[in-house]
């Protein structure tokens, strides 16, 4: 396929290289032109504007830093929308806002072009090693068309339906999960260190008990299904344990804001009559706050 690739950062460059390796004809663009040079040696054509990369492409892929970079390259002067042929498809892999993804959905539709959102999970090394996980959403015909490219970028693909911005929400939710785990780890290390535990020792426990174990997967499954009874570990015991952690924090003088948040949610669960459900019924509370119909 004739492909335009916008953005030669530490993610975009190895992704473009993988498309070249899969036999596609690739034109690349980067705001700082020098970063595009290495791709030329590997067979890419370097162009001067996003529009030039899109001009006669069947598919143009963009992988940029943030909303303003994407907005400029797609909707700005000499941008993708103005140049992409009717019927060709824009694949947006950047981590951007839902609002911008919705604006691009409309702009491409108005121009008779296709638009697919396809953010990726993985670091630059994963991009280089074709180990990214791609999540995608958009009109079925467009996704069908670009699927060979998406599968050339990584080790797997989850398709999320016809609303392109849904893939952006999933990418943002994934980064939110990582940040949450880091915050939880940060507080746990602070608490254990100030209680006299070597950081290396707590790391050893974490690796032995949690890392690569099915525990998070199992809880994710329970929350996905909204199945909170019978309780494996009752929510009121969750309240007990997080309260004990907070007391340990007061004892050692360690603030634990995430634990405070959990305590409030567990206590809400108990106050609302869910004390004997499984502690993963945190999932039910989140749904109720959001005004979603109850599961389970």
Per CB under 8 A, which of residues 177..196 are in contact with a copy of itself?
177-196
If you search the block for the tokens 């140049």, which residue do you land on? 83
Outline where the chain has alpha helix (H): 12-21, 37-41, 50-54, 67-75, 80-83, 98-110, 124-128, 140-153, 165-194, 199-209, 215-225, 235-252, 257-271, 282-289
Contact 132, 17 (CB under 8 A): no
Q: Which is nearer to a copy of itself, 109 or 211 (CB)?
A: 211
Q: How far is the CB of 85 from a copy of itself (least distance, A)?
A: 29
User: Using the rule CB under 8 A, is 119 a contact of a copy of itself?
Assistant: no
User: Using the rule CB under 8 A, is 37 a contact of a copy of itself?
Assistant: no
**CB under 8 Å to 274, separation ≥6 — which residues?**
228, 235, 281, 284, 285
Q: Which is nearer to a copy of itself, 1 or 98 (CB)?
A: 98
User: Using the rule CB under 8 A, is 156 a contact of a copy of itself?
Assistant: yes
Stretch that binds a copy of itself, among 43-51, 76-84, 104-112, 248-256 (CB under 8 A): 248-256
SS3 146: helix
Q: Which is nearer to a copy of itself, 141 or 244 (CB)?
A: 244
User: Using the rule CB under 8 A, is 165 a contact of a copy of itself?
Assistant: yes
Sign of torsion over alpha carbons 64, 69, 75, 79 = negative
Neighbours of 188 (CB within 10 A): 19
User: Using the rule CB under 8 A, is 135 a contact of a copy of itself?
Assistant: yes
Segment 69 to 108, residues that bind a copy of itself, using CB under 8 A: 95-99
User: Using the rule CB under 8 A, is 118 a contact of a copy of itself?
Assistant: no
Stretch that binds a copy of itself, among 21-29, 85-93, 143-151, 274-282 (CB under 8 A): 274-282
Residue choice 123, 140, 141, 148 for contact with a copy of itself (CB under 8 A): 123
Neighbours of 229 (CB within 10 A): 11
Residue choice 169, 230, 276, 277 for contact with a copy of itself (CB under 8 A): 169
**CB under 8 Å to 211, separation ≥6 — which residues?**
none
Q: Which is nearer to a copy of itself, 91 or 96 (CB)?
A: 96
User: Using the rule CB under 8 A, is 22 a contact of a copy of itself?
Assistant: no
Of 171, 207, 225, 294, which is the active-site residue?
171
Residue choice 44, 54, 91, 282 for contact with a copy of itself (CB under 8 A): 282
Contact 128, 139 (CB under 8 A): no
The yes-or-no answer on residue 171 being catalytic is yes
Query: For 210, which DSSP code?
Result: T
Tell me how many residues contact a copy of itself (CB under 8 A): 122
Query: For 93, which DSSP code?
Result: -
User: Using the rule CB under 8 A, is 203 a contact of a copy of itself?
Assistant: yes
Tokens of 115: 């638009």
What gap in Å lies between CA 268 and CA 210, rounded to an integer?
27
Segment 47 to 66, residues that bind a copy of itself, using CB under 8 A: 66
User: Using the rule CB under 8 A, is 286 a contact of a copy of itself?
Assistant: yes
User: Using the rule CB under 8 A, is 109 a contact of a copy of itself?
Assistant: no
Residue choice 257, 276, 277, 296 for contact with a copy of itself (CB under 8 A): 257
- Output the furthest CA–CA distance in the chain (Å, rounded): 67
Burial class (CB in 10 A: 0-12, 13-18, 19+), 293: exposed
Q: How far is the CB of 231 from a copy of itself (least distance, A)?
A: 11
What residues are labeled active site? 171
């Amino acid at each position: 396929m004739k492909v335009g690739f916008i953005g030669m950062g530490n993610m975009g460059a190895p992704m473009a290289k993988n498309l070249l390796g899969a036999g596609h004809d690739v034109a690349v663009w980067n705001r700082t032109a020098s970063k595009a040079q290495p791709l030329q040696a590997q067979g890419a054509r370097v162009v001067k504007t996003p529009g030039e990369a899109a001009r006669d492409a069947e598919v143009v892929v963009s992988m940029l830093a943030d909303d303003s970079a994407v907005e400029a390259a797609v909707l700005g002067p000499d941008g993708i929308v103005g140049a992409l042929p009717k019927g060709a498809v824009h694949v947006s892999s950047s981590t951007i806002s839902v609002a911008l993804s919705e604006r691009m959905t409309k702009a491409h539709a108005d121009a008779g072009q296709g638009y697919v959102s396809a953010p990726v999970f993985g670091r630059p090394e994963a991009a280089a090693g074709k180990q990214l996980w791609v999540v995608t959403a958009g009109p079925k015909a467009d996704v069908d068309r670009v699927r060979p490219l998406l599968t050339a970028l990584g080790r797997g693909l989850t398709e999320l339906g016809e609303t392109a911005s849904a893939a952006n929400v999933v990418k943002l939710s994934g980064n939110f999960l990582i940040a949450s785990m880091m915050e939880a780890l940060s507080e746990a290390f602070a608490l254990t260190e100030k209680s006299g535990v070597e950081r290396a020792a707590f790391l050893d426990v974490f690796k032995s008990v949690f890392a690569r174990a099915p525990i998070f997967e199992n809880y994710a499954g329970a929350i996905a299904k909204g199945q909170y009874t019978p309780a494996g570990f009752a929510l009121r015991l969750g309240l007990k344990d997080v309260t004990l952690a907070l007391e340990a924090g007061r004892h050692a003088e360690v603030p634990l804001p995430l634990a405070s948040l959990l305590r409030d949610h567990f206590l809400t669960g108990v106050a609302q009559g869910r004390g004997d459900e499984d502690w993963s019924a945190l999932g039910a509370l989140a749904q109720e706050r959001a005004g979603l119909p109850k599961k389970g």
